[in-house]
Amino acid sequence: DAKTTQPNSMESNEEEPVHLPCNHSTISGTDYIHWYRQLPSQGPEYVIHGLTSNVNNRMASLAIAEDRKSSTLILHRATLRDAAVYYCILRDALTSGTYKYIFGTGTRLKVLA
């Protein structure tokens, strides 16, 4: 299974940018990198995904290293509602043609008021 490595926890001050790193040195050439987050007492929710180029959406930005062995999720202005566990995820193909996500243990982000 393709694997990712993330720090267990990070802290940020409110209103400041947050950079959440992820290493995925075993990534294959066609693997997309997905990020999800899990707020307290909720299921994971999709944040962003990308292949090679940097990606932006209303929630975050994703910066992907040129060799694709690492990526960084960027929250431009952290709020208290961004306190969550953030998962960097690769996928493995299943026999039916769909994919399963390989979840690690994620990074617990604490936002300080």
Residue 104 binds other proteins, judged by CB under 8 A: yes
- Nearest distance from C-beta of residue 41 to other proteins, angstroms: 7
Closest by CA to 25, choosing from 48, 6, 2, is 2
- Nearest distance from C-beta of residue 23 to other proteins, angstroms: 16
42 secondary structure, DSSP code: S
Smaller CB separation from other proteins, 42 or 66: 42
Residue 55 binds other proteins, judged by CB under 8 A: no
Residue 71 binds other proteins, judged by CB under 8 A: no
Residue 34 binds other proteins, judged by CB under 8 A: yes
CA distances from 24 to 27, 61, 69 (A): 6, 18, 5
Give me the DSSP letters along 61-98.
EEEE-TTSSEEEEEESS--GGG-EEEEEEEEEE-TTS-
Smaller CB separation from other proteins, 13 or 54: 54
Q: Measured in whole angstroms, how far is the alpha carbon of residue 88 from the centre of its chain?
A: 3
- Residues in contact with other proteins by CB under 8 A are 32, 34, 41-46, 49, 87, 94-98, 100-101, 103-106
